Amino acid sequence: MGKDLLFEIGTEELPPSCMEEGVTGLRKVLENKLSESRLEFKDILTYVSPRRFVAIVKGLGEIQKSKEEIVTGPPKGIAFDKNGGPTKAAEGFARSLNLKVSDLEEIEIKGKGLYLGKRITEEGKKAKDLLGDILKDTLLSMSFSKQMTWSDYDIKFVRPIRWILALYDNEIIRFNIINLTSGNVTFGHRTLSPGAIIIKNTGDYFKFLKSKGAVIVDSAKRRELILKQISKLEEKLWKGKYKVVLNENLLKDVVNLVEIPNTITGNFPRGFLYMPKELLIEAIQYHQKYFAVLNKSGNVSTKFIIVQNGIKDTTGGVKKGNERVLKARLKDATFFYEEDKKHDFNHWTEKLKEVIFFSGLGSMYDKAVRLKKLSIYLIDLLHGSGLKGRQDISPDLVSASLLCKCDLVTSMVVEFPALQGIVGRQYAKEKGEKSAVADSIFEHYLPRFAGDILPSTDIGLILSIADRIDTITGMFIAGKIPSGSADPFALRRKASGVVLSILKGKYDFELAGLIGYNIKLYLESFNPKDTDGSKIASEVRDFIVARFRFLLEKKGKRLDILDAILEPGCGSIMDIDLRYTAIEEFIINRDIKKIYFPVIRCRNIIGKKEFGEVKEKLLVEEYEKKLFSSIESKKSKIKDLVVKKDFTSVLIELDKLGTVVDQFFDKVLVMDKDEKIKTNRINLIKKAVDLYMTMADFSRLIVDKR
C-alpha cells in the first residue's frame, strides 16, 4: 500500500519570483532521488506559500526494491582446464567476490557465449532508514537563479531556512542541516499564529495549518479564495457597476505574497483620473500590488483592491494606510507624466545616445538606427512575396523604428518599466504621430511572454522581428550565448518571438540573409575583435530554427519531419513550416513509404561517391531511360511548385517518381560490368536523389519498415 511522506522546508518570506522555480525544482529533485534509491511511489504533490516549500509523496513504499546485479568473470573455456578443474582465473575471480568457485554459476551472455559469474541480489532496505539522507540531499540539491548565504553557514538557498518538517505517515524522519534538525514541528502565519504547531501525522498537515496556523498551503486554493472575494464584491456589493482589472501576473504575485488572503476596498482622489488609462492602471498595480477597478464605462474608477495577508481591518486603519501609500505613488506618477509632457521625441532620441545597449555594441540610439536599416532590408527581402499587394509601409516603418526605443528614457518608464511600449504608444499619439506608427511602438515588444498576443500589423511584426534578431545577433557577437538553463538576456524567448511573428505575417525570407546583413552593420560600426561573421550567422540561424523545433516539440509534433526538411539547408521559417505541414498531412492521408523506400534504395547505392552529369547516350536499358525521362519532365514542374509553395503537389509528383525508381532498381543492374555504364547509372540515381532533396531528405524520416 505505501504511506505518505510529508516534507516541508520553512523559510523567511520568499520572493514571488522564485516560488514557481523552487516548487518545480523540489518535485524534480525529490522524484530523482527517490527513483535512484529504488523507492516506489504513486505521485509527488508540491506546494508553496510565502514561508514554505512543501512536498507530499503519495503511497511511498515501505521497502526499497531489491536489486539484482550480474557479475561476470572469465569465459567458461578459460575458467576450467581440460579436466574440469578451476583455473587460476576462476579462483582469482571467486576470491574477488569472497566466494568459492563452487558458489559461482554459468551465465550466458548473448552473442558471446558462457561465462563464469554470479547473480548477486541486494535486498531492499526499509524506506524510513533511507529517507533521512534522501531528504537532506534533496534540500541541498535545490538550486535557484538567485541564492544567498546567511550567518556563517556554507549552505546556499533562496532565503534562510528556519525549520524542517519531515514525517513518514506518523514517524519523524531525522536528519541535520547546519543548525537545524528535522522534526514534526511547523509554524503558521507570522502574526496571526506565530507559535509552533505539532503535526502528528501527514494527514493532519493541511487541516492543522489552516485551523491552528491561519495558513492555506495550496496556492490554487489561495487564488480561488481571492477570486471568490473579488467576485462577491463585484456582484453583491457593487451590483455589477464596477469590475476589477485582473492582471494575471499581478494575481500570481499576490497569491504568493499572502498565506491567507483578505480583500479590502480602498479609494483614491478623483484628481488622478485624468492620466491615460493604461498608465494609471500600471501605477496602481506596480509598486504596492493593488488591483485597479473600472466603472461600467470601462474607465478607471477611484476604487482599488488591497489583498491583505489575513489581517481583518476591524478599525479601518489598514485601508487608510494603503490609501495614503497609493496617493503618494499616484502623485509620483502624475509628476513623471507631467515632466514627460514637457519634452518631445527629439529630446528622447538625444537621450538614447547616452544609454548603452551593451558593452562594445554601442548605444540604444545606435540600435534604433540599425532597426531602421534592418526593417527596410527585410521589406526588400519580402518584396513580391510576404508584402505583395499590401500598402507601402516603408515611411511609417522608418518613423516607428527610430521612435520605438525613445520611451525607455522617459520618466514614466524609468519608474514603471512594465510600461515600455505602452508609454511610447501613448506619447506618440499625444505628439501627433500616425496611429500606425504609435501602435507599432507598442507592438514591437510583442510577444512579451509565452502565450502573449502577437503584433497585428505588418509594421509591428517587421519591427518586432528586426528588434529581436538584432539583440540575438549582438549578444552572439559579444559571446553571450545561452548555455544549459542559463539565458540571462532571454534570447530563447526572443527567438521564439521571431518564429511566431514570421508565421503570423507569412513572411518568406531566408534568415541567413537578414542575419548576415545585421552582422555587417555591427562590424561596420564597432569592429569587435576576432569576430567570424559567417560562423556567427550560422549559429544565430541555427539558434532561431531550434526554437521552431522547440515549439513543435511542445505541441507533440514529429521532429524527424523537421530534420528531413532542414537537411537540404532550408532557411526560411515560413517555408519550413509549409513543408512540414504538407509532409505531416501526406503521412496521415497517403503512404509515405512510396517516397521513403525509393529514396533509401537510391542512397544505399550512391553512398559518398563522386558524381558527374548523366550521359543520355549511355542509357541503354528501357527502365533507366524511363527514369531519366521522368526526372527531366518532373524537374521543372517541381521547381515551379516549390516557387508557388504548393508542397502537397510536390509530394504527389515525388510519389509518382517512386514507382519509376522502384522499376529501375527491379529491372536494371546498376553495377554493370562496363565501368562507364555503371558510373552513368550511379549519376542517374544521384540525379533522382537531388530531385527528392528539393523537398526534403526523406531518408531522415522514421518509418515503420514492415
Q: What is the mean pLDDT of residues 569-589?
A: 95
- Band of the pLDDT at 661, cuts 50, 70, 90? very high
**Helices 248-255 and 219-232 meet at what angle, rounded to 10?**
120
Q: Distance (Å, rounded) from C-alpha 490 to C-alpha 492?
A: 6
The pTM (predicted TM-score) of the whole model is: 0.80
Quick one: three-class SS letters along 287-337?
A: CCCCEEEEECCCCEEEEEEEEECCCCCCCCHHHHHHHHHHHHHHHHHHHHH
How, if at all, do strands 171-172 and 161-168 pair?
Answer: antiparallel
What pLDDT score does 387 carry?
A: 62
Q: What is the mean pLDDT of residues 23-41?
A: 94
Evaluate if residue 354 carries a pLDDT over 70.
yes
What pLDDT score does 101 carry?
A: 85
Please report, rounded to a whole number, the percentage of residues in the chain having pLDDT higher than 90.
79
What pLDDT score does 530 carry?
A: 74
Which of 574, 551, 576 is CA-nearest to residue 566? 576
What pLDDT score does 390 carry?
A: 62
Evaluate if residue 22 carries a pLDDT over 80.
yes
Q: What is the mean pLDDT of residues 29-41?
A: 94
What pLDDT score does 254 carry?
A: 95
> What is the residue extent of each domain of the chain?
3-63+126-211, 67-122, 219-340, 348-556, 573-700
Evaluate if residue 123 carries a pLDDT over 90.
no
Q: In degrees, to the nearest 5, what angle opens at C-alpha 338 toward C-alphas 333 and 342?
A: 145
Q: What is the mean pLDDT of residues 474-478?
A: 94
- Band of the pLDDT at 607, cuts 50, 70, 90? confident
Q: Distance (Å, rounded) from C-alpha 576 to C-alpha 574?
A: 5
What pLDDT score does 79 carry?
A: 85
User: 51-94, pLDDT tens digit by residue?
Assistant: 999 999 999 999 988 888 888 888 888 888 888 888 988 889 98
Evaluate if residue 173 carries a pLDDT over 80.
yes
Q: What is the mean pLDDT of residues 243-272?
A: 95
Please report, rounded to a whole number, the percentage of residues in the chain having pLDDT higher than 70.
99
Evaluate if residue 1 carries a pLDDT over 80.
no
**How many angstroms separate the Cα of 365 from the Cα of each of 251, 370, 665?**
36, 9, 63
Evaluate if residue 124 carries a pLDDT over 90.
no
- Band of the pLDDT at 606, cuts 50, 70, 90? confident
User: 277-289, pLDDT tens digit by residue?
Assistant: 999 999 999 888 9
Q: What is the CATH number of domain 348-556?
A: 1.10.3210
Q: What is the mean pLDDT of residues 243-247?
A: 95
Quick one: three-class SS letters along 90-158?
A: HHHHHHHCCCCHHHCEEEEECCCEEEEEEEEEECCCEHHHHHHHHHHHHHHHCCCCCCECCCCCCCCEC
The domain 573-700 having CATH identifier 1.10.730: the answer here is: yes
What pLDDT score does 702 carry?
A: 93
Q: What is the mean pLDDT of residues 536-565?
A: 95
**How many angstroms separate the Cα of 155 from the Cα of each of 29, 30, 32, 227?**
17, 18, 21, 38
